[in-house]
Amino acid sequence: MYYLNFLSTIHQRLAPQTYLEIGVRNGGSLALSRCRSVAIDPAFSINRELDGDFALFRTSSDEYFARPDPLAATGGRPFEFAFIDGLHIFEYALRDFIHAERHFSAKGMLIFDDMLPRTVDEAARVRHTRAWTGDVYSVLAVLAEYRPDLSVIPIDTRPTGLLMITGLDPDNTVLEDNYAQILLDHRHPDPQPVPAAVMDRMAVSEPEKVLQSKIFEQLAQASPTATAAELRPQLQQTIAQDFGPAFAPRPTGVGG
């Protein structure tokens, strides 16, 4: 399944009230949104028709989240769905996640693009191929180590995979607190040491199977004021049932 088709169905199933997109480019994924949307890209060039309530910011994500109130554009309402497809460099992608989660609803869902490179060349930090994922794949290992409280599900969409994350906790500061050490441990020079399980797409879910899960309706029906701790038991049960216990959220990770 092509990733935009998958994302289109997620928008319909989640019916979010607020949406965040980092990395807009020509607006292909942004055009799927039908709610109040914040879109961030320093060099967007939209060639799609947008039908909705959009706030576009021609700036970097670091600059946007350094604003006094990053939720001013949503009237203070936290994000319920996000698509991160910004600069394909590990530390930038990780910061995008840290910044976004801080302003997220616990009932929300965040999706990373380009998480499953098909070759070591595609995963290079210094781009030299037409198709390029960069080293965003390293976020997988970081979340497994530091944030077992999240449900993290790689999805085998075309062309280079997605990563679906639920169980978000805006009060969790583990990644930010350990950011310097994470870079020391997980940032590598080219050529990248991409795990075979990533390139072979082992332990990933087929998009058709993901779309059969009850998780989307469960999140859509959750209270906007619910906390991560309140939602975690039900999320754990649903994820374990639909995807297997290995994908279910567990107690908070390092330092949390």
Q: What is the pTM of this model?
A: 0.95
3-state secondary structure of 156: coil
- The answer to whether residue 185 sits within a structural domain is yes
pLDDT at residue 254 in the model: 55
pLDDT at residue 250 in the model: 77
The alpha carbon dihedral of 85, 88, 94, 95 has a sign of negative
- The answer to whether residue 139 sits within a structural domain is yes
Position 34 confidence tier, pLDDT thresholds 50, 70, 90: very high
pLDDT at residue 255 in the model: 46
Task: Output the average pLDDT for the chain.
Answer: 95
- The answer to whether residue 24 sits within a structural domain is yes
Number of domains forming the structure of the chain: 1
pLDDT at residue 64 in the model: 98
Where does residue 194 rank: exposed (0-12), middle (13-18), buried (19+ CB within 10 A)? buried
pLDDT digits (tens, 9 = 90+) for 123-161: 999 999 999 999 999 999 999 999 999 999 999 999 999
CATH number (domain holding residue 212) = 3.40.50.150
- The answer to whether residue 255 sits within a structural domain is no
pLDDT digits (tens, 9 = 90+) for 224-253: 999 999 999 999 999 999 998 888 887 664
pLDDT digits (tens, 9 = 90+) for 60-115: 999 999 999 999 999 999 999 999 999 999 999 999 999 999 999 999 999 999 99
User: Containing domain of residue 37, as a range?
Assistant: 3-247
- The answer to whether residue 81 sits within a structural domain is yes
